[in-house]
Amino acid sequence: MKLKRLKLVVILVTLSSFFLLNRLFNSLYPIYAKEATTSSSPPPESSDIKLKIEELKSQIASKAAKLKQEINKKIQNKALVGEIISVDDPKLTLQTKLKTYTVITNEYTVLSNSSSNKFKKALTLKTLSEGNNLVVLGDVDDNNSLNAKKIIVINKPESIERQINLGKVEEITAKSIKIATSGGTLKAAITSETQLLEGSKEIAFSDMEEGKSVIISSIFKDKERIAKLIFLKPNQPSLKTKPKETTPSSKTSTSSGKNKKI
């Protein structure tokens, strides 16, 4: 009787252990599957951080692009031509036709002479003075300050006086033209740079005729008047006298009849 009870207890313990193990296995397996699935995708916190980093990068790039545009507007690489009105090492004040600029130099600024300039001293900023004419290359900001990369001393530009006159051609050669104006006869030299127009069409000097109306634009160089542009008014009739056409004289037919013998 005791043996039967012992066997029954063993059977019950075995079955209980089996069910407990089975239940434990079933309960553990979904955990492993879930862990395996979730481990392949990053946690929500990591995704948010990456998204914020990308947004921050985009904002920084946009601000950098705007800043670059503003700098490009404020700083321009320019060449200025003007006259020194004051020198205060390492700066000088340059007066151009339109504005006054502050030129800032440093140890990297190159000073030189133009080939035609007679300024033969070894150049430094201290050798420059008021009245010197310069070409300055560098970056200009919106405050009219220029950081000079190169300064070239040049001769003072010659003032060129241009005149425009209206008249009629009196004489024209390959080297000069004379026109009669209301103030008298005007003579101008013709060079390879002289342009001749009739309306908007460029013509040759061989097409010019004495007596035709022209407008001439000229300059003075070394006390000589040089024609830069001669404008021939269009649709003017030709004034050249054409030789009269000789009509062939009608030949009188003379009958040179032979004398007939009677």
pLDDT in tens, 100-142: 999 999 888 888 876 555 555 567 788 888 888 898 988 888 7
If pLDDT is split at 50, 70 and 90, which confidence band does 168 have?
very high
Residue ranges per structural domain of the chain: 74-154, 162-232
For 54-89, write each residue's pLDDT tens digit: 888 888 888 777 766 665 555 567 788 899 999 988
pLDDT above 90 (res 185): yes
End-to-end alpha-carbon separation of the chain, Å?
200
For 213-248, write each residue's pLDDT tens digit: 898 999 988 888 999 989 887 777 776 644 344 444
pLDDT score of 104: 92
Residues 6+ apart with CB under 8 A from 244: none
User: What CATH number has the domain spanning 162-232?
Assistant: 2.40.50.320
Report how far residue 222's alpha carbon sits from residue 224's, in angstroms, rounded to the nearest whole number: 5
Residues 6+ apart with CB under 8 A from 118: 155
Name which of 188-197, 219-228, 248-257 the model is least confident about: 248-257
pLDDT above 80 (res 212): yes
3-state helix, strand, coil in the chain (%, to 5): 30, 35, 35
Averaged over 27-42, what is the pLDDT?
A: 49
Averaged over 37-50, what is the pLDDT?
A: 62
pTM metric for this prediction: 0.39
If pLDDT is split at 50, 70 and 90, which confidence band does 257 have?
very low
Averaged over 139-160, what is the pLDDT?
A: 81
Report how far residue 220's alpha carbon sits from residue 188's, in angstroms, rounded to the nearest whole number: 9
Element (H, E) at 225: strand 224-232
pLDDT above 80 (res 161): no
Question: Hey, which of 70-74, 177-181, 191-195 has the most confident mean pLDDT?
Answer: 177-181
Domain 74-154 CATH class label: mainly beta
Alpha helices in the chain (DSSP H): 2-40, 44-74
Report how far residue 191's alpha carbon sits from residue 226's, in angstroms, rounded to the nearest whole number: 8
pLDDT above 90 (res 170): yes
